Amino acid sequence: MEQMMRNFFLFLAKNKAVTKMAKKYGLRFGAARFVAGAELDGAVQVIQNLNHLGFKVTIDHLGEFVDSEAEAKEMANSCIEAVKAIAEYDLDSQLSLKLTSMGMDISDELVLNNMRRILTIANDMGVFITIDMEDSARCGHSIDLFTELKKEFDNIGTVIQAYLYRSDEDLDYLDPLAPNLRLVKGAYKEPDSVAYPNKEDVDENYKALIKKHLLNGHYTAIATHDDAIIDYTKELVQQYNIPNNQFEFQMLYGIRTERQKEIVQEGYKMRVYVPYGSDWYGYFMRRLAERPANVSFVLKGVLKK
């Protein structure tokens, strides 16, 4: 049943017609728990509150299914606006973005021009940019684009997904760049031909990737809500005397907030992934697919008077 629900929500996440309808009718049915409003001003307030509690943040202006050059440029402009807000309000925040929202599915020239605009301004303002990883069909292309941009900019990182078979080789390929990487399990529906179908195998590969990247000496963001992975990381860094400034934990806004506080109180860096924007639907569906508890929360919110 859990896998059926996951597949259902992942199917909805890719439905363009429903995405447009959701964007039109706003943040309803519990999405506000996971999304910091439709506008940047609301997100800034959320980040300020999180910073006050000791959390670092990465902000994400949500956007999927960009079909035109004009839309891609508009998304890039929104990212630049977010970068400027981080600098203006002195927020302890980075920026995360998707290459598809920058025009990757349209042309390399478009996505690279948009990324260079963002990275140049972000570099001037001391803001770090992370390229979020998308589905497996775009993984190789995303890594190629990241590699090209990394030659020009230091303020850029990307994401490696543990459920893909290729990820260990991707770490080896990226190693000479000394990359700052966010390591995740992965949240897209993928065929067994490219991804581990069993959670146990994903978890073991995740641990192997964490160990390899940390022992390679590179900055590692461990993005997980799984206590077993968190505990594994703590034991690993203690065993190999890895300093706290070489890694951080990351969690999503609105999920396991008390656990996030505990990690900060234990003296570790904790970064909260804070999305905002009217194009929230695909992100919201993937959060529902990840954990049945999220579905339960939303249903209670809808039915509550």
Note the pLDDT tens digit of each residue in 23-72.
Answer: 554 455 556 678 888 899 999 999 999 999 999 999 999 876 688 999 99
Number of residues that make up the chain: 305
Q: Give the other-Cβ count within 10 Å of 31's Cβ.
A: 21
The partner residues of 200 in beta bridges, in order of sequence, read none
**Domains of the chain as residue ranges with CATH:** 36-279 (3.20.20.220)
DSSP at 255: S
Question: What tens digit of pLDDT does each residue of 203-217 get?
Answer: 999 999 999 999 999
- What is the average per-residue pLDDT within 249-266? 94
Rounded (5°) CA angle 249-254-256 = 55
Catalytic residue numbers read 132, 182
Question: What tens digit of pLDDT does each residue of 117-175 get?
Answer: 999 999 999 999 999 999 999 999 999 999 999 999 999 999 999 999 999 999 999 99
Buried-state track 242-252, b at ≥16 Cβ within 10 A, e below 16 = beeeebbbbbb
The partner residues of 156 in beta bridges, in order of sequence, read 129
Which residue from 116, 180, 186 is spatially nearest to 153, judged by alpha carbons? Answer: 116
